[in-house]
């Protein structure tokens, strides 16, 4: 097909496509720490660990490393976590209040940093994350407010600022509309897939910069029946994923 077209899928929710799209970020990662930030990425990391990426390490969101069933297997207080980052054996999926075509990410503030119109979290660990371990992003509400021409404060480092950074890599960006990467000659953001029910035009409209859009844009893969069962009955029975993506 030359253009992805809407598909009615009454069985799998958009949130569940997002879970699988996030989970795929950790495929082939090996024995590394998965650091998901957000409800959908957390479900995705647990799904990956229970299926195709069994060597992943997970945390309880605090200082404990746990098996997918919650059994404590290790200790990772913040100081050790920050050191683990610099060792590189980690793939983090962060949020972004703004992200641009090169993958520069902002979670610090909106407007002029000296006197912001909206103070947000602060840079947190985005600078150290992006220079030391693979960093992907999860954006639950794809819009021009988030996908901007230029971020107001570079927290997570994008490809145009990463010259000479030996461990910089942004494997993917997942939003509620689709999946994106930077596998282009200019290292700018490319549309990899759209979730069923989303059109390429819709993605283009909701993005504040020119995306690289291939002639053929596939749909994000459908979760298998086994994956759906895990998501719905084992990992996220309370349906927290719907709080981020209500569709």
Partner 1 sequence: MGDKTMTADEVVSRLESGMTLGIGGWGSRRKPMALVRALLRSRIADLTVVSYGGPDVGMLAAAGRIRKLVTAFVTLDSIPLEPHYRAARERGAFELTEVDEAMFMWGLRAAANRLPFLPVRAGLGSDVLRVNPGLRTVTSPYEDGETFVAMPALRLDAALVHVNRADRLGNGQYLGPDPYFDDLFCEAADAAYVSCERIVDTAELTKAAAPQSLLVRRHVVTGVVEAPGGAHFTSCAPDYGRDEAFQKRYATTPWPAFAARCLSGDERAYRAAVKEES
- Residue whose C-alpha is closest to residue 152's, from 188, 117, 178, 184: 117
Query: Could you count the other beta carbons within 10 Å of the beta carbon of residue 212?
Result: 17
- Residue number with CB closer to partner 1 (162 or 228): 162
How many whole angstroms separate alpha carbon 200 and alpha carbon 6?
A: 9
- Residue whose C-alpha is closest to residue 167's, from 85, 244, 227, 239: 85
Closest CB 95 distance from partner 1, rounded Å: 10
Please say whether the beta carbons of 154 and 116 come within 8 A: no
- Residue number with CB closer to partner 1 (13 or 130): 130
If you count them, how many residues does the chain have? 247
State residue 75 phi and psi, 5-degree precision: -125, 125
- Residue number with CB closer to partner 1 (8 or 114): 114
How many whole angstroms separate alpha carbon 199 and alpha carbon 127?
A: 33
- Residue whose C-alpha is closest to residue 94's, from 34, 47, 46, 148: 34
Closest CB 6 distance from partner 1, rounded Å: 33
Closest CB 73 distance from partner 1, rounded Å: 14
- Residue number with CB closer to partner 1 (88 or 208): 88
Please say whether the beta carbons of 212 and 203 come within 8 A: no
Closest CB 76 distance from partner 1, rounded Å: 9
Closest CB 237 distance from partner 1, rounded Å: 21
Closest CB 192 distance from partner 1, rounded Å: 24
CA distances from 211 to 102, 103, 145, 179 (A): 10, 12, 15, 12
CA atoms within 13 A on the CB side of 185: 0
- Residue number with CB closer to partner 1 (132 or 193): 132
- Return residues touching partner 1 (CB under 8 A): 62-64, 75, 77-79, 82, 85-86, 108-109, 113-128, 130-132, 153-157, 161-168
Closest CB 121 distance from partner 1, rounded Å: 5
Please say whether the beta carbons of 208 and 148 come within 8 A: yes
- Residue number with CB closer to partner 1 (79 or 216): 79
- Residue number with CB closer to partner 1 (161 or 232): 161
């Amino acid at each position: 097909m030359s253009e992805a077209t809407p598909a009615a899928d009454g069985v799998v929710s958009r949130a569940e496509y997002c879970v699988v799209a996030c989970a795929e970020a950790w495929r082939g990662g090996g024995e590394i720490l998965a650091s998901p930030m957000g409800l959908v990425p957390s479900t995705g990391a647990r799904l990956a660990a229970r299926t195709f990426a069994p060597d992943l390490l997970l945390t309880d969101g605090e200082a404990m490393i746990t098996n997918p069933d919650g059994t404590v297997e290790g200790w990772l207080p913040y100081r050790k976590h920050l050191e683990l980052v610099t060792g590189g054996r980690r793939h983090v999926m962060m949020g972004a209040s703004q992200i641009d075509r090169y993958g520069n990410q902002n979670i610090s503030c909106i407007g002029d940093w000296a006197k912001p119109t909206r103070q947000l979290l602060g840079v947190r660990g985005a600078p150290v994350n992006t220079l030391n371990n693979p960093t992907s992003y999860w954006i639950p509400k794809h819009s021009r407010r988030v996908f901007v021409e230029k971020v107001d404060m570079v927290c997570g480092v994008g490809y145009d600022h990463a010259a000479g950074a030996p461990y910089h890599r942004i494997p993917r960006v997942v939003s509620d509309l689709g999946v994106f990467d930077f596998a282009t000659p200019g290292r700018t953001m490319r549309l990899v897939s759209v979730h069923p029910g989303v059109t390429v035009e819709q993605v283009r409209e909701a993005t504040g910069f020119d995306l690289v859009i291939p002639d053929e844009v596939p749909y994000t893969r459908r979760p298998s029946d086994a994956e759906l069962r895990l998501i719905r009955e084992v990992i996220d029975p309370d349906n927290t994923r719907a709080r981020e993506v209500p569709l």
